[in-house]
Amino acid sequence: MTILSTRGLSKSFDGLQAVTNVDFDLPQGEVRALIGPNGAGKTTLVGMICGRIEPTSGRVQFDGQDITSLPAHARIMRGMAYTFQITSVFARLPVTENVALAARRRLTGGAVDSAVENALARVGLTDEAHEEAGNLSYGHQRLLEIAMGLAQSPRLLILDEPTQGLSEGEIDDFKALIRELAGDTTILLIEHNMNVVMETADQVSVLNFGEILAEGTPQEIHENAAVQAAYLGTG
Ligand SMILES: Nc1ncnc2c1ncn2[C@@H]1O[C@H](COP(=O)(O)OP(=O)(O)OP(=O)(O)O)[C@@H](O)[C@H]1O
C-alpha cells in the first residue's frame, strides 16, 4: 500500500521554481532517502508534504486521502511526524517535557506517558529524561527531536538532515535506530551523508533543480551516471 503520494506538486517563490511537477510515491513500511545537491528543493518538497509550505499547484495524498488543503496540525493528527534542520527543542524544559509536548499533539491521557517513555528508550535518552534539554549535547538534542517525532506514534516519520552536525559515533547510533524503526514506521529521510543513505534506505529518490532525476535502490543510485553528473555539476 502507498502511504504517501504527490501528483504534479510544484512550488515557486517569486518566480523561482523550487519544486516542479513532482510525482512521488512512498509505499508503507519503506525507508526512503531523499537526496540532491544543495538548493535542489528537498526541504521545500517536504514542507509541502507536511503542510508547512503551500504548494503553487499539485496534490498530496496521505493514507488514501487528499490532504492538500489540510493544515500541518491536522496532518500530525493523521500520523505524520517530522523533524527539521533547525533544532526545535525547548531548551529550558526537561527532556521528558519536550517529548510530552510533542506527544500531546496527537495523544491524550495515559497514552502520553507511555509514548514518552518508549520514545526516550528507543533513542537511548532514558537516563537524560530529567535534564534540561538545553544542557544536552548537540547530538543528543537531535536524538531528542527524533524522540519527539516518535512519541506521536507516527505512520510516517520525516527527518530533515538528522545526522548533520553529529559525530561519527552518533551517526552509527542513528543508523542503528533507523534500522530498528524500519518496518514499524515509514520513514522519509533527507540526507546528505551517502554512507547513511547506503546503509539505511530501501530506496532513494534524487531531486535536482526541483525535479525527480532518478529513483532506485541505493546501489542503483550510486552507479547512476546522471546522478553523479548532477552532484559534480554543483561541486
Ligand atoms: N522561503 C523561500 N523564499 C524564496 N526562495 C526559497 C525559499 N525557500 C527555498 N527557496 C529557494 O528554493 C530553492 C530550493 O530550496 P530548498 O531549501 O528546498 O532546497 P534543498 O534541496 O532543501 O537545499 P539544502 O540541501 O541546501 O537544504 C533554492 O533555490 C532556495 O533558495
How does pLDDT run across 83-114, given as a tens digit for each residue? Answer: 876 667 899 999 999 999 999 988 999 999 99
Q: What is the DSSP letter of 28?
A: T
Indicate the number of domains in the chain. 1
Ligand 1: residue of 9, 42, 49, 53 to mutate (most ligand atoms within 8 A of CB) is 42
What dihedral angle (degrees, nearest 10) is formed by the CA atoms of 192, 197, 203, 206?
A: 20
Window from 70-79, 86-95, 115-124, 209-218 with minimum mean pLDDT: 86-95
For residue 208, is it within any domain?
yes
For residue 58, is it within any domain?
yes
Task: Using pLDDT thresholds of 50, 70 and 90, give the confidence band for residue 64.
Answer: very high
Cα angle: 115, vertex 120, 121; to 5 degrees: 100
For residue 169, is it within any domain?
no
Q: How far apart are CA 24 and CA 6, in angstroms?
A: 5
- Cell (9 digits) for 100: 510530552
For residue 15, is it within any domain?
yes
Task: Using pLDDT thresholds of 50, 70 and 90, give the confidence band for residue 235.
Answer: very low
The domain in which residue 232 lies consists of 1-69+190-235
For residue 160, is it within any domain?
no
For residue 29, is it within any domain?
yes
Q: How far is the CA of 81 from the centre of ligand 1 (A)?
A: 21
For residue 28, is it within any domain?
yes
CATH number at residue 211: 3.40.50.300
Q: How far is the CA of 104 from the centre of ligand 1 (A)?
A: 31
How does pLDDT run across 159-188, given as a tens digit for each residue? Answer: 999 998 889 998 998 999 999 898 889 999
- CA-nearest residue for atom 17, ligand 1, is 43
How does pLDDT run across 132-156, given as a tens digit for each residue? Answer: 999 999 889 989 999 999 999 899 9
For residue 25, is it within any domain?
yes
Q: Look up the ipTM and state it.
A: 0.96
Q: What is the pLDDT of residue 118?
A: 94
Q: How many residues does the chain have?
A: 235
